[in-house]
């Protein structure tokens, strides 16, 4: 069934005329051929990333958020097939469609313009090489001056509160999890990219280290005028630094908007369910609500609204008609027919629970 989600010429998350867009994702899909049918793990996603913002991309495991991150660099692993457009707008020069770029152009774009920090620092490093050698190999591959590059590496490591002498001469296994993750961030920034895409960069770390790295990322973003795309399952974590949040469900964007609006004026029941499922120090154990049901099968995505099998607000309209993106106001959009009922519905549930 074809989707009719667009509410503006650009689509969900489109920037206003005065906004400076650095990445423009249009109709991005990723498919894998399987014996039981075509698996669509990214489903015609449209999204704008604005220059020097921090965009949080959140959702459950299997929602498609990592595929969206990989698509921004045309780095989807074989045999996955990426279609659509990912247009990078440099500060100077003509826009480049990452999906259509040839091998040499992709080599330049990756690391130099758009860099990627993958999930799991340990698997990102070669255990037989020192951290210094990782920096050298990256600099050499892109024909950068090695001596100047290592000096820049030392600066980046210091910015991330690491001892450059210790870290550069260490093997990855000699560093703690937090040190490895920060060294990987420095490696991603070594060629001064404009955009840093981060896929679950803090998932394997304890809570205190997660918060520490979040704070450091904000400082790094400000110092180097970066655009950050931060992919995570942890909505409250990224909310500490994100300017906007895009919530993914069933391989597409369910809701997108300014962080305060997403948290305080939630306009999609899935977003509210994510918030209700996250414990904090003030939440009683009985008040934590796991999301009922399971994520959809990428080979058999439900008709209509893909969230309707799990949604307390679902009606016949939801099962038969794919919702467009409704304009909630001030850059806030929701793919929910009943977006204006979400707050009241969940407040009622809270009141019944207290009673």
**Residue labelled with tokens 């991005």:** 28
In angstroms, rounded to a whole number, what is the distance separating the alpha carbons of residues 180 and 175? 6
For residue 65 the two structure tokens come to: 């958020």
Strands 244-249 and 252-258: what pairing?
antiparallel
pLDDT at 43: 93
Tell which residue, 76, 74, 72, 84, has the closest CA to residue 23: 72
pLDDT at 236: 87
Fold of the CATH domain 21-113+193-354: Rossmann fold (3.40.50)
For residue 49 the two structure tokens come to: 């990333």
Per-residue pLDDT of the chain (355 residues; tens, 9 = 90+): 334 454 444 556 665 655 799 999 999 999 998 888 899 999 999 999 999 999 999 999 889 999 999 999 999 999 999 999 999 999 888 999 999 999 999 989 999 999 999 877 777 899 999 999 999 999 999 999 999 999 999 999 999 999 999 999 999 999 998 999 999 999 999 999 999 999 988 887 888 888 888 899 999 999 999 999 999 988 888 998 999 999 999 999 999 999 999 999 999 999 999 988 876 645 555 666 778 778 899 999 999 999 999 999 999 999 999 999 999 999 999 999 999 999 877 665 554 554 4
Tell which residue, 271, 263, 261, has the closest CA to residue 332: 261
Peptide bond into 15 cis (omega under 30): no
For residue 185 the two structure tokens come to: 């961030």
Structural element, H or E, at residue 157: helix 146-159
pLDDT at 12: 61
Q: Delimit the domains of the chain by residue range.
A: 21-113+193-354, 128-191
């Amino acid at each position: 069934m074809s989707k009719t989600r667009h509410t503006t010429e650009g689509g969900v998350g489109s920037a206003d005329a005065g906004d400076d867009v650095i990445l423009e994702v249009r109709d991005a899909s990723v498919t894998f051929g399987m014996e039981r049918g075509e698996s669509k793990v990214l489903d015609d996603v449209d999204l704008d990333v604005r220059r020097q913002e921090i965009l949080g991309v959140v959702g459950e495991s299997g929602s498609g958020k990592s595929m969206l991150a990989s698509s921004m660099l045309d780095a989807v692993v074989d045999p996955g097939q990426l279609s659509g457009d990912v247009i990078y707008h440099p500060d100077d020069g003509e826009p480049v469609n990452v999906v259509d770029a040839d091998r040499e152009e992709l080599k330049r774009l990756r690391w130099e313009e758009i860099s990627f920090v993958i999930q799991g620092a340990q698997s990102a490093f070669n255990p037989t090489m020192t951290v210094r050698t990782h920096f050298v190999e990256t600099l050499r591959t892109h024909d950068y001056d090695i001596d100047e590059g290592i000096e820049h590496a030392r600066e980046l490591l210091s910015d991330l509160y690491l001892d450059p002498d210790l870290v550069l001469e260490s093997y990855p296994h000699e560093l703690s999890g937090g040190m490895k993750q920060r060294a990987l961030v420095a490696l991603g920034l070594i060629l001064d990219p404009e955009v840093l895409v981060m896929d679950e960069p803090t998932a394997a770390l304890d809570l205190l280290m997660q918060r520490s790295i979040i704070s450091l990322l904000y400082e790094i973003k400000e110092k180097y005028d970066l655009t950050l795309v931060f992919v995570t399952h942890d909505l409250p974590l990224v909310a500490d630094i994100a300017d906007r949040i895009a919530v993914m469900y069933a391989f597409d964007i369910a809701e997108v908007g300014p962080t305060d609006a997403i948290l305080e004026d939630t306009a999609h029941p899935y977003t509210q369910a994510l918030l209700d499922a996250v414990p904090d120090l003030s939440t009683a154990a009985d008040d934590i609500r796991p999301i009922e049901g399971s994520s959809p099968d990428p080979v058999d995505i439900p008709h209509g609204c893909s969230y309707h099998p799990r949604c307390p607000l679902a009606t016949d309209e939801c099962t038969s008609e794919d919702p467009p993106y409704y304009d909630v106001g001030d850059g806030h959009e929701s793919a929910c027919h009943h977006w204006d009922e979400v707050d009241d519905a969940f407040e009622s549930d809270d009141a019944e629970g207290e009673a």
